[in-house]
């Protein structure tokens, strides 16, 4: 019994840590990343400036490794374990929370695949192959505006990855508040759920507008100045 109790405590603490890292720092990093990328809606100069300011942060590699990548790795790996251990019953008990439980696992896997591809596209290219941060704008423009057989596959993949990430984050906020006992009453739970949904929609609109801008040169949000040079679609 004592051994089982210790095992249960470890599982409890791991779930708590998993829930926490999904909000801080991983969720906050998602918000910051989308906001920084959205600076491109004002043109290349604001985007390069925003990226440059990040590169000036003291001890940036240490901050990235300890404050982002290690918590992200823990959240992802333990999330995979939870996904494989899960026993969803959404088809048997058709309730909203059961489907949200399933979607949280599915979007977590999709987001992880997208994140790995995104890291390879930029971070790994920077670390191992010398991609300059001043070329991030051109790289995003070239990839997102490219077409394969008339389809902008990069932009479509980005939109799917973005949707999965913001849903996972928003639903994760609700799960965090419930698991940490921050909301108890049904009214408070509904308030948090609607607030998280609204945040997810706002983040998706911000990120999707950035994707559309890089892929077509069109600004969906009134951000930026008219007359600024927009990325040109490329075909391959």
Name the residue ranges covered by the structural domains of the chain: 2-216
CA dihedral 117, 120, 123, 125 (to 10 degrees): -150
Please give the CATH number for the structural domain made up of 2-216. 1.20.1300.10
**Sign of the alpha-carbon torsion through 127, 168, 163, 210:** negative
Please give the Cα distance from 210 to 198 (Å, whole number).
19
Question: Does 1 score more than 70 pLDDT?
Answer: no
Question: Does 183 score more than 60 pLDDT?
Answer: yes
Please give the Cα distance from 224 to 131 (Å, whole number).
26
Three-state DSSP class for residue 43:
coil
Residue 45's H or E segment, with its range, is helix 44-55
Please give the Cα distance from 21 to 8 (Å, whole number).
20
- Summarised one tens digit per residue, pLDDT across range 108-162 is 999 999 999 999 999 999 989 999 999 999 999 999 999 999 999 999 999 999 9
Q: Are 40 and 47 in contact (CB under 8 A)?
A: yes
- Summarised one tens digit per residue, pLDDT across range 32-42 is 999 999 999 99
Q: How confident is the model at residue 225 (pLDDT cuts 50, 70, 90)?
A: low
């Amino acid at each position: 019994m004592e051994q089982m109790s210790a095992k249960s405590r470890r599982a409890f603490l791991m779930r708590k840590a998993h829930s926490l890292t999904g909000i801080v720092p991983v969720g906050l990093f998602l918000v910051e990343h989308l906001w920084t990328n959205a600076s491109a809606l004002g043109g290349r100069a604001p985007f390069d400036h925003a990226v440059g300011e990040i590169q000036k942060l003291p001890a940036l590699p240490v901050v990235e490794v300890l404050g982002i990548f290690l918590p992200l790795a823990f959240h992802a790996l333990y999330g995979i374990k939870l996904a494989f251990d899960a026993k969803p019953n959404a088809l048997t008990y058709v309730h909203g929370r059961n489907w949200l439980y399933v979607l949280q696992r599915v979007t977590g896997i999709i987001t992880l695949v997208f994140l790995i591809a995104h890291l390879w596209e930029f971070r790994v290219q920077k670390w191992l192959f010398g991609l300059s941060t001043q070329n991030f704008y051109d790289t995003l423009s070239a990839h997102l505006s490219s077409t394969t057989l008339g389809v902008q596959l990069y932009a479509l993949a980005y939109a799917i990855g973005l949707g999965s990430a913001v849903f996972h984050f928003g639903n994760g906020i609700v799960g965090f508040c419930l698991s940490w006992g921050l909301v108890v009453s049904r009214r408070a739970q509904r308030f948090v759920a609607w607030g998280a949904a609204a945040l997810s929609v706002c983040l998706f609109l911000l990120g999707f507008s950035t994707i559309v801008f890089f892929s077509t040169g069109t600004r969906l949000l009134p951000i930026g100045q008219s007359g600024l040079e927009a990325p040109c679609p490329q075909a391959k």
